Structure 1
Amino acid sequence: MAPRMERFVSPGKGNGLRSTARIKRGELVYSAEPLASCVSNRLARDVCHRCFTRRETLLRCSQCKTARYCNATCQKQAWSSHKRECKCLQNLLPRIPTDSVRLAARLIFALLKTSKGSSEELYTLEEHESHLNSMSEQKEQGLSQLASMLEMYLQPEIPDLAQEMTSALPSSCQEPLSLIAKVTCNCFTISDAELQEIGVGLYPSLSLLNHDCRPNCVMVFEGTKLQLRAVRDINPEEELTISYIETLSLTEDRQSQLEDQYHFTCHCQRCDSQDKDGLMLSGEEATWRLLKEALPRLEGQKADSDWQALLQSCSHLLSTVGGDVPDENLYKLRMTDMALDASIHLGHWEEALRYGEQTLPGYRQYFPDPHPVHGVQLMRVGKLQHYLEHDEDALDTFKQAFHIMKLTHGDDHPLTTDLLMKMEECRAEMDQQSSSSH
């Protein structure tokens, strides 16, 4: 397949990627396996370290007791990239290095294994930005600690890291600090079908993609394979963009996150026009401020998986204060989403469905282009409707989800095929009901 994209210098943004042909929305622009990737520490027990599938039970590596696999096949296939890491992990036990340190180490092992100059990438690691010169002192100190951790972690396998890096790595990556900075600035979050974060990976060519708060492309994953798809029609030579962050937030919050994490100020059309900010803050400020102020505490309960307390807090606030705030208000929408999560975890299906349906008008307004987040939300609500035997509603919701996902995920993504099966089940059940009622 001829490449659909090429590098160019994007005015005011530095390097970028643009299309070389007309691309229709829903088309796959590019797909890539990572140069290096690793499962997030938070999920190290729940996700296979080879294929990134979630499973109830996984085999544990008997030596480092950290890596876990679906079965012996995954374990065998992973050994060539796990072998050196395994010794390093054993040496640090019971401590486990952070995700970025593990990713940087895997990157170094991968680079030491491949010969120089064999890269097919549009953008080499050498060229990646480290942004060290524009970082706050505090942030640079944090990265220096990670760089020392990396040296200590690699000690059993690469005793003289500096020397080894000098001989094997491109000059701009030879300092552990600059390598760690490049990794943290350029890695992508790998997510599962439900868009929950499961790991991090480096996809060098795709680091060229610039950010837009209303991008013309989205990224979805199948295992660790990244797929870049167009969500709008794109003309030849038009710049390809993705969103680096969750876009469902106010302009000033998006801007400060981009400044802090990626060191630039966004001047996209959404930011310049502050599009949707008015809608996100709809209702009386005195009322929704109470919801906004409660969110950090609720996010803490969610992080601790304290579902009972979370549901109690959300439902209390939504019924006392929430009634006077429009459903599209950003803080009410976030809280309703948390109530949905908590209800699902506790198996309160009717309550979950009520919260889920309440979020959909907001999602429809905030994601005017097909977006994986909107598709997955529709799918969750459809599954609840189906489970509670509201088959007609479920079929309708699944159809809306399919309309989005065939564009964001493509026809052959496992999630899309799962969705088609659900639609068939609904139809079969409705046929059965109508024939039994005659």
Structure 2
Amino acid sequence: MDNYNLVEALVSHMSDIDEKQLLLYAQMANLVNLILQLPNIDIKEIAENFSKFACNAHTICDSELRSLGTGLYPVISIINHSCLPNAVLVFEGRLAVVRAVQHIPKDSEVSISYVETAASTITRQKTLKEQYLFTCTCVRCNKLGQYDDIQESAILEGYRCRDNGCSGFLLRESDEKGFVCQQCGLIRNKEEIRKIASDIKALSDKALKCSSSGNLQEAIVLYKNIEKLQKEVCHPFSIILMRTREKLLEILMQLEEWKEALAICRLTIPVYERVYPGFHPLLGLQYYSCGKLEWLLGETDDAIKSFTKAVDILRITHGTSTPFMKELLMKLEEARAEASFKLSSREDSYITL
């Protein structure tokens, strides 16, 4: 940290923290004092700095948004949060870079998202309150409780109609005995959903243990069973189902089960397109993953389409001069060259015949 004055200017939210957390910060400050053994050390200031770090630090990620650590960037901390941000924070090594993802008029505020935006308003609000100690009042959060917000929350984190041909979402009945499809009116029994949810929870616990212990083959079987059950109760655009498929994709990639991985990756794309804005880096990265799998499996034309979609997004969020983007652009050019060669070879064979 080159300028400690910037740290001093950060908000600590000490008055908003519960006693249990305050006690933890005090214990951590005392531990620092025991280790450093410096004269005139200010225990209270150290405790406040821990609080400042907790609610002002950012997760440092690589170009594919995999977490590497946590860093305090006081200038970046000045930028406010929005659940519908006009900019994105990415890292190039230890350098924090903020890039606009849409036109920002002069004198307008720049905003980034502090949390995962693919979530219901209630979930986002809860995460922001617990981690950053404030209540968001952005344009998305201001819709809390309105019909559109209730519908979106029910689709993202709620249940589906029991009629497989219906794309409706469910809301609780007034008597709390079940859920009513808002499209066709069919009622789904609460106990049926509770039983399936309980089975999913039990399987999820087992799958996590298998995955953590390296038993990937067993984990795959369990996650496939979880996916099957979730498809019975979750809306097709459910982020809960999406997260299960993300985990399946991750393990299938580790096991080099490329065909299955591509099938799962393709299932996630429509959900990503719905839950993320058009220029969100996670959407671009999912297109990139899909393209790499398609190219590996010889589906060159599809790979070109996926790479092109990835480039269109990631050149905005990541720039064009980083090693990551240079590699992506090179893959796109190589795929185009391969497609051109295949087309030329087919034309030559027709001429020969």
Structural mapping, 1:19-168, within 5 Å: 35=1, 119=3, 124-152=6-34, 155=35, 158-160=36-38, 163=40, 165=41
User: In the alignment, what sits opposite 2:90?
Assistant: 220
Indicate the structure with greater helix content.
2
**2 CA distance for matches of 1:128 and 1:214?**
24
Q: Calculate the TM-score normalised by the size of structure 1.
A: 0.65
Shift in alpha-carbon separation, 1:138–1:370, aligned structure 2, 3 A: same
| Structure 2: tracts of 5 or more residues without a match | 162-169, 171-192, 349-353
Q: Aligned partners of 1:360 and 1:290: how far apart in 2?
A: 28
Partners of 2:326 and 2:199 lie apart in 1 by 38
Name 1:204's counterpart in structure 2.
74
1:340·1:352 contact (CA, 8 Å) conserved in 2?
Answer: yes
**C-alpha displacement at 1:149, in angstroms?**
3.1
Q: Does 1:279 align with 2:155?
A: yes
Superposed CA RMSD in Å reads 2.5
Percent identity between the two aligned chains? 31
1:270 match: 140
Q: What is the 5 A alignment of 1:32-431? A: 35=1, 119=3, 124-152=6-34, 155=35, 158-160=36-38, 163=40, 165=41, 175-274=45-144, 275=149, 276-280=152-156, 281=158, 283-284=160-161, 286=193, 289=197, 293=201, 297=205, 298=207, 302=211, 306-322=215-231, 325-431=234-340
Q: Give the Å deviation of 1:327.
A: 2.9
Give, in angstroms, the shift of residue 384 of structure 1: 0.8
CA distance 1:225–1:279, change in 2 (3 Å): same
Change (3 A) 1:402 1:291: farther
Superposed displacement of residue 207, structure 1:
0.7
Cα offsets for 1:263-296 (capped at 9, x unmatched): 1111212122244324313514638846874686
Q: CA deviation at 1:224?
A: 0.8
Whole-Å Cα distance in 1 between the matches of residues 120 and 214 of structure 2?
A: 26
Say whether the 8 Å CA contact 1:292–1:331 is kept in structure 2.
Answer: no
Name the SS for the 2:247 alignment partner: helix
| Aligned-residue offset at 1:308 | 2.8
The whole-number CA distance in structure 2 between the counterparts of 1:186 and 1:301 is 35
Shift of 1:248: 1.3
> Partner of 1:269: helix, strand, or coil?
coil
1:378·1:398 contact (CA, 8 Å) conserved in 2?
yes
1:159 is matched by which residue type in structure 2? Q
The amino acid that maps onto 1:277 is: S
Provide the C-alpha distance between the structure 1 equivalents of 2:13 and 2:213, rounded to a whole number of angstroms: 33
Amino acid at match of 2:99: R
Report SS of the residue matched to 2:97. strand
Contact 2:159 2:234 in 1 (8 A): yes
Aligned to 1:94: none
- Flag as ranges the 4+ runs of structure 1 deviating above 6 A: none
Contact 1:395 1:426 in 2 (8 A): yes
- Counterpart CA distance in 2 for 1:245 and 1:214 is 11
